[in-house]
A and B are shown apart, each in its own frame.
Chain A
Amino acid sequence: MEKSAKAPPPRIDDDAVYSLTAKGKTELRGAGTALTAIELELLIHLDGTSTVAQVVRRNSAHARDKLLEALDKMSRDGLVAANVQSDNIEATGFFTRPIFPADPSAAADAAKQSDITLQLLRRQGYVARIAKRAAAETRKLNPGERLVLLVIEDDEQLAKVLRMFMQLDGYEMRLAGNREQITAALRLGKPDLVLLDVTLPDVDGFDVLARMKQHPVLKSAPVVMMTAKATREAVLKGLALGADGYITKPFEMDVIGHTVKSVLGLA
């Protein structure tokens, strides 16, 4: 019988993000392991947020081919799994991945933006009424195209009002009010914009924001924070973590509509 040639390993995308499966986590915690040194290095570095290219750079002591070969083997052995498949979002682990503090330069930039905003908005009796980052470019929708808005708000009635008014403006609406619903909503795919309440029953809105902005796929979705308590610290925190807008409650529906359009570049 003729011996078949060894198949080349499948191509691994440099931008792919891998994280440990339950089996991989057990292997990492286990005292004894049959894994090679290079495989153990990968288990440590595949944190669910770093791309393959970044992991390869951090392990420059090993040849790239050897690292990719090991990664491929570990994937086939079920120790690691790619988080991203084309444009789909693998939301599993959204709330368990490690997150990193805001970049200090982002915090300084946010402080500058916020101070200008505050001067303008204090007159209205709020620390901030709306703070928003303008969209990079104007966007035109194709005929029949509907943008998806995800509203993360635990007040069911307020969420219903938002859905009703934003549907009228032609948006496709998704609602979520707690961790489980957020994960389920994100599994449906990347929304075009997220309206995010700061105070939620089982998770902090800033934590959701940080996780979104550090997620390989979700980070490009604009997030507008909604809060009933807009202290200067809270506004700065949100902007430093990458929030694209800030709206204080209670709000008029036209404020929401205007902000969403501005942030999406539709205005």
Chain B
Amino acid sequence: MTFQRLSREFDALRAEYRKSMAEKLDRIEALWELILKGMHDDTRLAQLKRELHTIAGSAGTFGLPQVGDAARAAEDCLGEAADLATLDAKQRDDFARLLGNLKSAARAPH
């Protein structure tokens, strides 16, 4: 594989990753809304953390370090909480703010 071809393929993967970010954020937002509405499901908060964790781990590799940092901050905010009941009001407010930061970071021109 030539360097040019590698570069093209990596650019294509990066574009695919960035395109998929909107979908990932929609899913994260929808999960958070369901959790806030009290539509209780033990797996939702774990899924939300996993989605954030995945972005935190991969965004930097695709040239989006700010997005990765914002996802990590949001993930850390949820800490070890297992469900909505174990999140206090401050954590909920903080998470809503950090989710906003994540969306802004993802929408910012790169």
> Footprint of B on A, CB under 8 Å?
154-155, 157-158, 160-161, 164-165, 167-168, 197, 199, 201, 226-229, 249-253
Q: How far is the CB of A226 from chain B (nearest CB, A)?
A: 8
A199-B50, A249-B61 as given contacts; A228 in contact with B56, CB under 8 Å: yes
A-B contacts, 13 listed (Cβ < 8 Å): A155-B54, A157-B17, A158-B57, A158-B58, A161-B13, A161-B62, A228-B57, A229-B53, A229-B56, A249-B56, A249-B60, A250-B56, A250-B61
Q: Return chain A residues, CB-CB under 8 Å to B108.
A: none
Q: How far is the CB of B5 from chain A (nearest CB, A)?
A: 10
**Contact assessment for A227 and B57 in the assembled complex, using a CB-CB cutoff below 8 Å:** yes
Partner of B65, one of A197, A229, A250, A253: A250
Q: Return chain B residues, CB-CB under 8 Å to A199.
A: 50, 53-54, 57
Q: Is B86 an interface residue (CB 8 A)?
A: no
Bound together, the chains give a CA A226 to CA B61 distance in angstroms of 13
**Contact assessment for A164 and B6 in the assembled complex, using a CB-CB cutoff below 8 Å:** yes
A164-B6, A199-B53, A228-B56 as given contacts; A251 in contact with B61, CB under 8 Å: yes
Bound together, the chains give a CA A110 to CA B68 distance in angstroms of 29
**Contact assessment for B53 and A157 in the assembled complex, using a CB-CB cutoff below 8 Å:** no
A164-B9, A168-B1 as given contacts; A155 in contact with B50, CB under 8 Å: no
Q: Return chain A residues, CB-CB under 8 Å to B53.
A: 199, 228-229
Which residue of A has the minimal Cβ distance to B49?
A: A199
Measured as residues with beta carbon below 8 angstroms from the partner, the interface class of chain B is 20 to 34
Bound together, the chains give a CA A82 to CA B77 distance in angstroms of 49
Q: How far is the CB of B83 from chain A (nearest CB, A)?
A: 19
A164-B10, A168-B1, A228-B53 as given contacts; A158 in contact with B61, CB under 8 Å: yes
Q: Return chain B residues, CB-CB under 8 Å to A253.
A: 61
Interface of B is mostly: helix
A157-B16, A157-B17, A168-B1 as given contacts; A249 in contact with B57, CB under 8 Å: yes
Q: Is B4 an interface residue (CB 8 A)?
A: no
Q: Give the tally of cross-chain contacts (CB within 8 A).
A: 59
Give the contacts of B30-69 with A (CB-CB under 8 A): 50, 53-54, 56-62, 65, 68
Bound together, the chains give a CA A157 to CA B20 distance in angstroms of 10
A164-B6, A164-B9, A201-B50 as given contacts; A250 in contact with B16, CB under 8 Å: no
**Contact assessment for B13 and A160 in the assembled complex, using a CB-CB cutoff below 8 Å:** yes
**Contact assessment for A161 and B61 in the assembled complex, using a CB-CB cutoff below 8 Å:** yes
Which residue of B has the minimal Cβ distance to A226?
A: B57
Q: Return chain B residues, CB-CB under 8 Å to A165.
A: 6
**Contact assessment for B6 and A155 in the assembled complex, using a CB-CB cutoff below 8 Å:** no
Partner of A155, one of B10, B58, B65: B58
Give the contacts of B67-95 with A (CB-CB under 8 A): 68, 72, 75
Which residue of A has the minimal Cβ distance to B61?
A: A250
Q: How far is the CB of B61 from chain A (nearest CB, A)?
A: 5
Bound together, the chains give a CA A53 to CA B110 distance in angstroms of 61
Q: Return chain B residues, CB-CB under 8 Å to A155.
A: 54, 57-58
**Contact assessment for A161 and B59 in the assembled complex, using a CB-CB cutoff below 8 Å:** no
Which residue of B has the minimal Cβ distance to A167?
A: B1
A228-B57, A250-B58 as given contacts; A157 in contact with B1, CB under 8 Å: no
Bound together, the chains give a CA A160 to CA B6 distance in angstroms of 12
Bound together, the chains give a CA A250 to CA B10 distance in angstroms of 16
Q: How far is the CB of A131 from chain B (nearest CB, A)?
A: 17
